[in-house]
């Protein structure tokens, strides 16, 4: 309803005077609020008055909601709570008629009506009431902790006993029904909302986990999972089908793990999504990895390097040959750092080739190859083919076995710069890991230029950052690594809306920078022990992870507890 029509109806009904309307319109112009809200704020009318005026204008029913009103259980089942709350409405059904009355705050909301029509397959009649009365009904008769599922036969997940087969006609029919449902407004809207929420909250992953009666949805933000509002279980299989269709995955296969990917646009950014499905007891679990291409465009300083370390890293990357290894557990940021290095090296004069499993980001100007173990295209076989493509720089996603490591070593000896990753707890351990898988010490000594150990720690939220003394346990840990820590001023996040009450926002890297020099090469050739090698590495300039992390504590970037969580057991 337009502002002028609302004012006219209220005047005709004698609910306001001409002077009150003029005053409200002046104040509304200054405040930016709508006329109805302004009149209510001035105390001239109530929200019920506005709802009655709207009903009169549109020629629909004003639905009286007093303390005696009761929403029947069967009515509650018609639409899930999240839909009722999102559009501020609830359904009322009379008798066995194939129609419902939708009591709404805004009866002009076409999307809300279409959503309910899609969910119920019923004829819709509209009625209007005030927002606070509708929300009071929803609060009273819905239960947030358990969605009341509708009896929708065409959404039931059709599963057969193990070893038996579904008739092809029945399977085909179910799949066609699921395709239709996957394109229904509620399903499409829910998937879109989840993707946009993940981007808005800077989430790296979305987890869809089906239970017997409910679905759990969690997003991973700054390395930590947290629950978000789930869909009703009745819509879950349609949601899975929607995501599978987007990802070009086989919607008929629910017994085997599947992989796929798709992309979407958010705020003028292209977001890649990698999808993995896993059959579990109560349905297919999905994990969506959110890959923001914008992350590739950040300065390498944003990864966590200080100026001195960044210069040393870039100097090593400009070597004509040799191997640069990144080490750390899964989720420690190795891939981001590798891609940052490739972006630094990217030049039309160089042929840069990667072998990855999987390809996390697609980088213009870089030749990227996906391993496919199912057809025999593993890292080793891919590397053999790549060496016939005249590469200058090779990036291997991960060294996992002797054959891959041996080809990487020989590639570096024949004039190639090789970048790769290895799963070890610290930088010095990488050299012993290579020896354990069968690489000769002389090859390790001759080829390894740099090993970069890496972890990610959460950064203190700048919006709620405040000075605070650490716990005794945290202080003891810091002092055991650096005696000067007792005199530091430390900071923590109090928790606010911007950081989701966690006190942290964003992550940064902490590093062990092990550049292999002549003294360390001699120890490798002599096959010295790992403990002695680590001590020698520290003597010649390697800063352990814990000390690098504590420097960020001293700078007010992170907390001692965060450093402890990723460096426990690390000794300087």
Output the tens digit of pLDDT for each of the chain's 572 residues: 555 567 777 887 778 888 888 888 877 766 666 777 778 777 788 888 888 888 887 888 899 887 678 888 788 888 888 888 888 999 998 777 788 999 998 888 888 888 888 888 888 999 999 888 898 888 778 753 333 333 222 223 333 333 333 334 444 555 555 555 556 667 888 888 888 888 888 899 999 999 988 899 999 998 889 888 888 888 898 899 889 988 888 888 888 999 898 888 876 777 889 999 999 998 999 999 998 766 555 567 778 898 899 999 999 999 999 999 999 988 888 888 998 899 889 988 999 999 988 777 778 888 999 888 778 788 888 888 888 888 999 999 899 889 989 999 999 998 999 999 998 888 998 998 999 999 999 999 999 999 999 999 999 999 899 999 999 999 999 999 999 999 999 999 988 877 877 899 989 999 999 999 999 999 999 888 888 999 999 999 899 999 999 999 999 999 999 999 988 655 54
> 366: how many CB neighbours lie within 10 A of its CB?
19
Q: Using alpha carbons only, how large is the chain's radius of gyration in Å?
A: 31
3-state secondary structure 358-388: CCCCCCCCCEEEECEHHHCECHHHHHHHHHH
| Residues of the chain by 3-state class (helix, strand, coil), percent to 5 | 45, 20, 35
Positive or negative CA dihedral for 194, 200, 206, 211? negative
The first and second tokens of residue 17, run together, are 């005077």
- pLDDT, position 161: 33
User: Is the full-model pTM beyond 0.75?
Assistant: no
How far is 237 from 283, CA to CA, in rounded Å? 8
- pLDDT, position 571: 52
| Coil, helix or strand at residue 351 | coil
The first and second tokens of residue 548, run together, are 């690098």
The first and second tokens of residue 92, run together, are 């009322």
Tokens 């989720």 correspond to 331
Sort residue 283 into left (φ over 0), alpha (ψ -120 to 50) or beta.
Answer: left
- pLDDT, position 164: 35
- pLDDT, position 233: 86
Burial of 27: CB neighbours in 10 Å, binned 0-12, 13-18, 19+: middle
Residues forming beta bridges with residue 276, ordered by sequence position: 259, 287
The first and second tokens of residue 506, run together, are 């964003």
How far is 430 from 3, CA to CA, in rounded Å? 70
Q: Which helix (H) or strand (E) element contains residue 266?
A: strand 258-266
Q: Spell out the residues 6+ positions from residue 28 whose beta carbon is closer than 8 angstroms to its own.
A: 3, 34, 35, 38
The first and second tokens of residue 360, run together, are 């996390």
Which stretches of 120-214 are assigned E, i.e. beta strand? 123-128, 203-210
- pLDDT, position 181: 55
Burial of 31: CB neighbours in 10 Å, binned 0-12, 13-18, 19+: exposed
């Amino acid at each position: 309803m337009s502002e002028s029509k609302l004012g006219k109806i209220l005047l005709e009904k004698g609910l306001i005077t001409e002077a009150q309307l003029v005053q409200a319109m002046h104040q509304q112009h200054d405040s930016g609020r709508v006329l109805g809200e302004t009149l209510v704020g001035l105390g001239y009318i109530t929200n019920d008055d506005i709802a009655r005026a709207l009903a009169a204008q549109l020629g629909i029913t004003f639905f009286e909601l007093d303390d005696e009103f009761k929403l029947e259980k069967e009515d509650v089942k018609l639409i899930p709570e999240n839909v009722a709350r999102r559009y501020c409405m609830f359904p009322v059904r009379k008798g066995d008629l194939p129609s419902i009355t939708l009591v709404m705050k805004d009866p002009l909301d076409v999307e809300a009506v279409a959503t309910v029509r899609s969910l119920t397959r019923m004829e819709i009649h509209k009625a209007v009431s005030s927002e606070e009365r509708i929300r009071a009904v929803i609060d009273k008769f819905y239960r947030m902790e358990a969605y009341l599922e509708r009896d929708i036969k065409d959404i039931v997940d059709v599963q057969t006993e193990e070893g038996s087969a579904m008739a092809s006609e029945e399977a085909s029919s179910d799949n066609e029904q699921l395709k239709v449902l996957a394109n229904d407004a509620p399903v499409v809207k829910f998937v879109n909302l989840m993707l946009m929420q993940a981007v808005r909250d800077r989430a790296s992953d979305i987890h869809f986990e089906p239970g017997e009666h409910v679905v759990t949805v969690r997003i991973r933000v700054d390395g930590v999972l947290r629950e978000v509002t789930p869909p009703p279980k009745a819509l879950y299989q349609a949601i899975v089908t929607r995501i599978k269709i987007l990802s070009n995955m086989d919607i008929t296969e629910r017994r085997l793990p599947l992989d796929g990917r798709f992309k979407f646009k958010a705020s003028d950014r292209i977001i890649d999504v990698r999808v993995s499905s896993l059959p579990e007891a109560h349905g297919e679990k999905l994990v969506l990895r959110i890959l923001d291409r914008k992350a590739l465009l950040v300065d390498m300083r944003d990864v966590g390097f200080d100026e001195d370390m960044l210069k040393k890293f870039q100097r090593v990357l400009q070597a004509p040959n040799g191997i640069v290894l990144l080490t750390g557990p899964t989720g420690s940021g190795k891939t981001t750092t590798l891609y940052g290095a490739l972006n630094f090296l990217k030049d039309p004069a160089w042929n840069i080739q990667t072998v990855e499993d999987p390809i996390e980001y697609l980088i213009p100007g870089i030749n990227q190859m996906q391993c496919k173990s199912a057809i025999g295209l593993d890292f080793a076989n891919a590397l053999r083919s790549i060496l016939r493509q005249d590469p200058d720089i090779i990036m291997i996603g991960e060294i996992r076995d002797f054959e891959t490591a041996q080809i990487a070593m020989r590639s570096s000896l024949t004039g190639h710069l090789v970048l790769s990753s290895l799963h070890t707890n610290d930088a010095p351990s990488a050299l012993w890991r290579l020896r354990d898988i069968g690489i000769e010490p002389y090859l390790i000594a001759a080829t390894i230029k740099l090993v970069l150990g890496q972890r990610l720690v959460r950064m203190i939220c700048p919006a709620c950052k405040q000075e605070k003394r650490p716990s005794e346990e945290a202080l003891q840990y810091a002092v055991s690594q650096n005696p000067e820590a007792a005199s530091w001023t430390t900071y923590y996040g109090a928790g606010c809306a911007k950081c989701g009450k966690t006190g942290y926002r964003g992550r940064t890297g902490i590093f062990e920078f092990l550049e292999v020099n002549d003294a360390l090469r001699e120890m490798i050739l002599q096959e010295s022990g790992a403990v002695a090698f680590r001590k020698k590495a520290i003597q010649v300039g390697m800063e352990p992870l814990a000390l690098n992390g504590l420097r960020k504590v001293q700078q007010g970037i992170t907390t001692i507890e965060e450093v402890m969580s990723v460096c426990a057991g690390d000794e300087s």
